[in-house]
Structure 1
Amino acid sequence: MSIVKINAITVPADSGDELGRRFAAHSGSMAGVGGFEGFELLRPTDGRTQWLVLTRWADEESYAAWRSSQDFARSHGHGSAEEGAARPRPVGTASELWSYTVAVEQEQTAERQ
């Protein structure tokens, strides 16, 4: 059964679009990562300042392997492909990681005609 990781990122109101642009610029970067099943970046619509990065993984081991990988380190500002390269400043001011398992899953069905 899949596991879900949600990174709740607190983003100032004037920086949300930049967070979206950064994620869009790296939209294919997870292709081929073992156990990765997909992700969504969720924008708040109710005045909150927390954006949610929802990822789905085959299992906890796959997630842990990605977290300890060089790709994770580079994409999260812990080193770069070019030493000394300037890194953009973080958009978020805080983040919190939430972990879940899927308790009930429902597939979308085609509309009845």
Structure 2
Amino acid sequence: MGSVIKINAITVPADSGDELAHRFAARAGAVDDAEGFEGFELLKPTDERDQWLVLSRWRDEESFQAWVASPAFAHGHRSAAERSGGEAPKPVSTHSEVWSYEVAGGSDA
């Protein structure tokens, strides 16, 4: 069996996309050391869509679930202001949902 793919589809108003990208950049590397983590990309729409996609790859479902249940997950999803005892910033998204897939085929390139 191939990698497990998790896609977090985040609905973001057009005027909030840059802030979403900034927040992701501010916590880059937060998941890198998680057991079974293979990588992720933040995908910005290039058409009229308002959904940004966070695509992450995991060795298996158990690795992903262990990370979601970990203190590192909670810590990584708090803002820098919250981590230093301040207030949470205004959300940039209006909705999100997680889609689950596994690799069933493809190229080696």
TM-score, normalization by structure 1: 0.86
Say which structure is richer in helix: 2
Alpha-carbon distance in structure 2 between the residues aligned to 1:27 and 1:73:
15
Q: CA deviation at 1:6?
A: 0.1
Pairing 1:107–2:108 present:
yes
Alpha-carbon distance in structure 1 between the residues aligned to 2:15 and 2:83:
29
Cα offsets for 1:33-84 (capped at 9, x unmatched): 100000000000111000000000000000000000111112224xx544x4
SS class of match (2:28): coil
Contact 2:27 2:76 in 1 (8 A): no
Alpha-carbon distance in structure 2 between the residues aligned to 1:19 and 1:81:
18
Q: Give the unaligned 5+ runs of structure 2.
A: none
- Indicate the residue corresponding to 2:71 in structure 1: 70
Give the ranges of 4+ consecutive aligned residues of structure 1 lying more than 6 Å apart after TM superposition. Answer: none
Alpha-carbon distance in structure 1 between the residues aligned to 2:93 and 2:99:
16
Counterpart mapping for 1:10-89 below 5 A: 10-77=11-78, 81-82=83-84, 84-89=85-90
- Indicate the residue corresponding to 1:111 in structure 2: none
Aligned residue identity for 1:3: V
Q: CA deviation at 1:106?
A: 1.2
What CA RMSD, in Å, does the superposition of the two structures yield over aligned residues? 1.6
Aligned pairs, how many? 106
Alpha-carbon distance in structure 1 between the residues aligned to 2:71 and 2:36:
16
Indicate the structure (1 or 2) with the bigger Cα radius of gyration.
1
SS class of match (2:88): coil
What is the identity percentage for the equivalent residue pairs of Structure 1 and Structure 2? Answer: 59
Aligned residue identity for 2:24: F
